[in-house]
A and B are shown apart, each in its own frame.
Chain A
């Protein structure tokens, strides 16, 4: 148990729709990062939030956006879903920006049809 929970665990959406994925971090973790993991690949960094502000972003288009809230919860929003967005989405929280030890949730499996 990492203390990081994600919801929902599975989701099916239609191409063109929008989706919101949620993450609840450990209390005291000021940093949350989101990753996309395609089948058979390692996780790819989407972005990081530190104290409710975006701190860094990977190579993902603007239709991927996020929010972090004061209660250690966060959201990943994806607009205009494409078939290639089908993946496992992981959030990871840590005490600080340096990611000395990141705690991952179990992920949300998103399928776009």
Chain B
């Protein structure tokens, strides 16, 4: 099973760009890289998904190098409401395998 490694926690300040890197050395050919956000006592929320190079949507960008062994979620100009846990997942089959995630704390 594909396993991901990401920092346990990160701190940032309002207005800064935050980059969370995830390592996935055993990524398989069919795996997509997906990021979810979770607030306390809520279900995870899909942020972005990609296979290679760069993907951008209205809330984030996802950078994936050519070897696909890592990925970086970029959150531009974070606000206090971005304080949450961010999960990086390999998504190739019927189940989502969550790690412990990265706890992002955004300070004023």
B interface, over-half SS: loop
Contact with B41, one of A88, A102, A103, A104 (Cβ below 8 angstroms): A88
Contact A2 B87 (CB under 8 A): no
A60 to chain B, nearest CB (A): 12
Per the bound structure, the CA–CA distance linking A33 and B93 in Å amounts to 12
Contact B45 A42 (CB under 8 A): no
Find the A residue at minimum CB distance from B85.
Answer: A42
Find the B residue at minimum CB distance from A56.
Answer: B94
Specify which chain A residues have a CB less than 8 angstroms from the CB of B93 in the assembled complex: 56, 98-99
CB-CB under 8 A for A33 and B95, given A42-B87, A42-B101, A100-B49: yes
Contact A58 B95 (CB under 8 A): yes
Specify which chain B residues have a CB less than 8 angstroms from the CB of A2 in the assembled complex: 43, 45
Find the A residue at minimum CB distance from B42.
Answer: A106
Partner-A contacts on B (CB < 8 A): 32, 41-46, 49, 87, 91, 93-101
Known: A33-B96, A88-B41, A99-B95. 5 other contacts (CB 8 A): A2-B43, A4-B43, A44-B98, A102-B96, A107-B42
> What 4 A-B pairs come out closest when comparing CB atoms?
A104-B43, A42-B98, A45-B95, A56-B94
